[in-house]
Structure 1
């Protein structure tokens, strides 16, 4: 199973694109700023190169995890010891991959797993942090919604093209 790194790089861009729309003042940006006690002027003081650059790096890290969650064949590759061990895998592995190597490798299937990851992984993490930080449910739902949408799109791209 070859990894299409271009698909991972493209999937990582999803957080920036979705964030541009999601946190726009005409969508959830105004509510988000209010819930964080931030003003437009305070936001403009940030180091945007650092913020967007690290966001992209972190998003690339997420794509690596999403790959194992959305592509079921990753588990089979892991069972033989990972990519370095593929050449020495038993013939049954080659037969399995010949039969099922592209099974469930669609945008739709990856989106489903991305959505599930958002709902059952990102949302609880954001919820726990928000509760301890005494944030509002608006704050929690805005961020959880953002990550659920991002993971849905990223999962679709990764599963279909990686």
Structure 2
């Protein structure tokens, strides 16, 4: 593919933006922030979360890493080369792709609209943070 080369990837930015995604998620879904609200909306208890497989964190890491990798490639190819531009681009990508998917899937799953808002705004903030980190390095 002529539009992409491995030299376009800032591996440190990809790793740090993956970490940023975990940090945003840990803060967003913390019990003192939106964790209780989110658990109520999805019907989980604290014990359900304690009993959940650690594999879910591994899967989250893989998805965050892949997202950061693609975001890095897109930002380089589109010349989004600043912290502010990266934050806006990440937020835009999240709004179009991630929030759009939440709206579609939560709608068909008859999930509460509040859950779509909690998850969707999280995704916008997380990808904005990822884009800002990448923008600082590319």
TM-score by length of 2: 0.88
RMSD: 1.5
CA positional deviation for 1:16: 1.1
From 20, 38, 46, the equivalent of 2:52 is 46
Q: Deviations over 1:55-75 (max 9, x none)?
A: 11111110122123322xx25
CA positional deviation for 1:104: 4.6
Aligned pair 1:159/2:117, yes or no? no
Q: Gapped runs of 5+ residues in structure 1?
A: 76-102
- The 2-side partners of 1:39 and 1:108 are apart by 38
Aligned pair 1:69/2:45, yes or no? no
Where has structure 1 moved over 2 Å in runs of 4 or more? Answer: 68-71
Match of 1:5 in 2: 11
CA positional deviation for 1:32: 0.5
- The 1-side partners of 2:80 and 2:58 are apart by 32
Match of 1:56 in 2: 61
Q: Gapped runs of 5+ residues in structure 2?
A: 1-6
DSSP 3-state at the match of 2:43: coil
For these two proteins, the number of residue pairs brought into alignment is: 132
Aligned pair 1:25/2:31, yes or no? yes
Counterparts of 1:120-131 in structure 2 under 5 Å?
120-131=96-107
**For the Cα contact (< 8 Å) 1:35–1:136, is it kept in 2?**
yes
**For the Cα contact (< 8 Å) 2:83–2:133, is it kept in 1?**
yes
Aligned pair 1:139/2:115, yes or no? yes
- The 2-side partners of 1:9 and 1:106 are apart by 17
